[in-house]
Amino acid sequence: MLQDILAHNERFLQQTTLPHVGHAPSKHTAVVTCMDCRLVNMFEPALGLERGDVLELRTAGATISSPERAKADNDLIRSLAGGVYLLGVRQVFVVGHTECGLSKVDPTVLTSAMQALGVDPQQLIQQCNLKDANGLVDWIGAFKDVHLNVQEVVDIIRQSPFLPRIPVYGLVIDINTGKLTVVDDGSKAKA
């Protein structure tokens, strides 16, 4: 695949001259979403976002895993802080999606996949004090309900001592149609 990418890139450079776009997001906005491959070439058009408009942060599940939630300085918060303090972000959208892989993680499937690839789940569970396979499922950030997960992530961002009190919104996008549903329009923020 590397050779395909490099060959494509040569054609791209011959055919395309990118306009200059500033480093700071012109809409002063950060968008947190999932890494799902079906969001590629769909997510931005569905939200009306162009290159240079927003910071886009992608994590598996558009979430912060439960062991990380307790730590206010987890990687998502760190990235948002960079966006806010260094790049002028003044609002955040958390956008989960339907049919998210993290909403249906089976502990047996997870541990078998690890074993098949030479990683010992039991050793990890012991090393990281995860108790059992369900601890691994928590560690990878699995959740049951995407709407609930979006609301929880919105609340964590709102309450983070590392971030200022800026508007945070929660949405879910239908992975098949691109339709957005509002989970939190900002009105659930505690004054």
Task: Give the annotated binding-site residues for Zn(2+).
Answer: 34, 36, 97, 100
Is 34 or 130 the residue whose CB approaches Zn ion more closely? Answer: 34
What sign for the dihedral angle of Cα 160, 37, 169, 28? Answer: positive
Is residue 165 helix, strand or coil?
coil
Query: Could you tell me the smallest distance in angstroms from the CB atom of residue 126 to Zn ion?
Result: 29
Minimal distance, residue 178 CB to Zn ion, in Å: 14
Cβ atoms of 143 and 134 closer than 8 Å: no
Q: Which of 30/100 has CB closer to Zn ion?
A: 100
Rounded-to-integer distance, Cα 78 and Cα 12, Å: 33
Q: 36 vs 152, which CB is nearer to Zn ion?
A: 36
Closest to Zn ion by CB, 125 vs 172, is: 172
Smallest separation, CB 10 to Zn ion (Å): 32
- Please check whether residue 172 is in contact with residue 183, taking contact to mean a CB–CB distance below 8 angstroms: yes
Residues that bind Zn ion (CB under 5 A): 34, 36, 100
Nearest to 64 by CA among 80, 51, 52: 80
Annotated binding site: 34, 36, 97, 100
CB of 32 to Zn ion, least distance (A): 12
- Please list, in sequence order, all residues whose beta carbon lies within 8 angstroms of the beta carbon of residue 53, skipping any fewer than 6 positions away: 25, 26, 27, 29
